[in-house]
Amino acid sequence: MMSAVFGTRLAAGLTLAGLATVGVACQPVASPPPPPPQPVSQYCAPSAPATAPEYQAAFDGLRNTYTEWVSADGAIPVALPDGRTVWLFGDTYVGTVDSGGIIDPADGLIRNSMVVQTGNCFAPLMGGVAHARASLIPPSSAGQWWWPASAAVDDNGQVLRVFVWDMVSGGPLGFEAVGMSMASFALPSLQFQGVQNLPFSTDANHPYGATAMVSGGDVYLYGDNARNAYVARAPLGYLPYAGAWQFLAGYDSSNQPIWSSQEAQATTLQWNNMPPLDTAFGTGTGPDAQPWVTPYGSGFLATAKMADVFSSDVSVSTAPTPAGPWTYANPIATTAVPPGMDTYGAYTLSTSASNPIAAYSSNVASALFGPPAPLTISSYGPHFFVPSPPLPPPPP
């Protein structure tokens, strides 16, 4: 009896199982999701940009084109020997842009990238592969990354030296700078070759390379902390070698810079006529921001915000030499932005009297300072503008 009941139940179970199998087999099979669209390699503007509005339109066009490069801050230009321009960027969103220019919350964030400009075309350069992008300059360890700051073409046009912030996780904002290093890229291929220490000590107080300038066959590296700006120089072709570097060690009776090969003798740049700035920003004599220096007439022009993210100006100073002494001139712009945004990283791209161009970056402010603005390609990235009032006269 037991065996008969068991057999009946077994047969019923097999029948039900068969019906279930038939039912499953009859269910429509869901189609796999379509593959993600293939990104394009570049954006081409109608013509090569030459004015501030044209540069803005070109980068806006790039940010609205699906290259996977969504937006980034920095936009530091470096002219290459073959006529191309490399634009250096720090934190870079990768993925897509939603309607209205909103950066998709699902977009990834890589720590550095480049955009290579060839005439009117702009091609992002990132690490990784399509749909799996990575930082162009890979980190050395977990919790560490590199932010490109400035660059110079070295070794008779064979190498691009990119001076990079050495960043680590930590601090109230979630990141801290611990020094500067030098990344190298082969030219013309822009193949990454590696990162090495600068051949002298750097730290958050002496960030040599936060900005850079080439003049007279020398590379000048600048760095500022708490209104104390320093500068070091070395001849092109000798940047990796410690014995080639000299440091500003003061000024003589004629206000000419004194250079020393001893880093311990380094002293700060001299600034004159600077507007008052709260001592909370430091006790030095310059702006509390990295000065961007460029040749200007027979002298030099330095662009910086007085208190970086904590001020709304872009201001300029002039000097007869790359090391100063510097004389404050005037602001050339007010970075009026909506609440919840920061502006920083000002520089002058063109000092032409007929076509001056300057720029700065913006970002959504830290939640430490109140509700942040929406993250869009307008709130995060470079802004190009015409200085107003105009640039001051070059120094005599």
Task: Supply the pLDDT for residue 6.
Answer: 32
pLDDT at 44 over 80: yes
pLDDT at 1 over 60: no
Cα–Cα distances in angstroms (integers) from residue 268 to residues 123, 284, 351, in the given order: 39, 8, 26
How sure is the predictor about 32, in pLDDT bands with cuts at 50, 70 and 90? confident
Nearest residue to 230 via CA among 193, 268, 203: 268
Question: Mean pLDDT for the chain?
Answer: 91
Task: Supply the pLDDT for residue 172.
Answer: 83
Q: Write the DSSP symbol of residue 375.
A: -
Q: What is the pLDDT of residues 240-287, one digit of tens each?
A: 999 999 999 999 999 999 999 999 999 999 999 999 999 999 989 999
Q: What is the pLDDT of residues 47-63, one digit of tens each?
A: 999 999 999 999 999 99
Nearest residue to 205 via CA among 153, 266, 248, 261: 266
Task: Supply the pLDDT for residue 99.
Answer: 80
Q: Average pLDDT in the 17-21 region?
A: 40
Task: Supply the pLDDT for residue 7.
Answer: 39
Separation between Cα atoms, residue 333 and residue 331, nearest integer Å: 6
Task: Supply the pLDDT for residue 105.
Answer: 87
Q: What is the pLDDT of residues 276-333, one digit of tens each?
A: 999 999 989 999 999 999 999 999 999 999 999 999 999 999 999 999 999 999 999 9
Nearest residue to 113 via CA among 95, 97, 125, 96: 125
Q: Is 254 in contact with 248 (CB distance < 8 Å)?
A: no
Share of the chain above pLDDT 90, in %: 83
Q: Is 146 in contact with 209 (CB distance < 8 Å)?
A: no
Task: Supply the pLDDT for residue 368.
Answer: 67
Task: Supply the pLDDT for residue 312.
Answer: 94
Structure-token pair, residue 99:
């309607």
Q: Is 72 in contact with 113 (CB distance < 8 Å)?
A: yes
For residue 132, the tally of other CB atoms under 10 A from its CB is: 10
Task: Supply the pLDDT for residue 339.
Answer: 82
How sure is the predictor about 26, in pLDDT bands with cuts at 50, 70 and 90? low
pTM comes to: 0.90
Q: What is the pLDDT of residues 91-138, one digit of tens each?
A: 999 999 988 899 998 999 999 999 999 999 999 999 999 999 999 999
Q: Which class for 160: exposed (0-12), middle (13-18), buried (19 or more C-beta within 10 A)?
A: buried
Q: Average pLDDT in the 196-225 region?
A: 96
Q: What is the pLDDT of residues 4-14, one digit of tens each?
A: 333 333 333 43
Where is pLDDT greater, at 378 or 51? 51
Q: What is the pLDDT of residues 133-186, one digit of tens each?
A: 999 999 999 999 999 999 999 999 999 999 999 999 998 888 999 999 999 999
How sure is the predictor about 28, in pLDDT bands with cuts at 50, 70 and 90? low
Task: Supply the pLDDT for residue 13.
Answer: 43
